[in-house]
Amino acid sequence: MARAAVLRILLAERRRQAKLTQAQLAKKLGWDQSTVSMMENGQRKIEVIEFMSIADALGFDPCDLLKTLRTIKE
């Protein structure tokens, strides 16, 4: 599985672990719910700054998730 797909899966899992809906996460970030949805389903790429904002909103260290992604072969 490609790293981009793994990233989407892991971010969606982190959101669910935080017990937030897409709409609730979007509100915390000042985004539309559709933006979060498009990121999670692969219709929109996730930029680095957005990734860091998501990590902050969900309360995890983005470096930890990047370490996991680094083990995935393209």
Q: What is the pLDDT of the chain when averaged over all its residues?
A: 96
- Helix/strand/coil percent split, the chain, to 5: 70, 0, 30
Q: What is the DSSP letter of 45?
A: P
pLDDT of 73 reads 82
Predicted confidence at residue 1, as pLDDT, reads 77
**What pLDDT sits at residue 74?**
76
| Tokens 């990233």, located at residue | 7
pLDDT tens column, 11-39: 999 999 999 999 999 999 999 999 999 99
- Give CA–CA dist 38/45, Å, rounded: 8
Closest CA to 28 of 7, 6, 2, 59: 59
Confidence of residue 43 (pLDDT cuts 50, 70, 90): very high
User: What structural domains and CATH numbers belong to the chain?
Assistant: 3-70 (1.10.260.40)
Instruction: Round to whole Å and give the CA distance between 73 and 3.
Output: 7
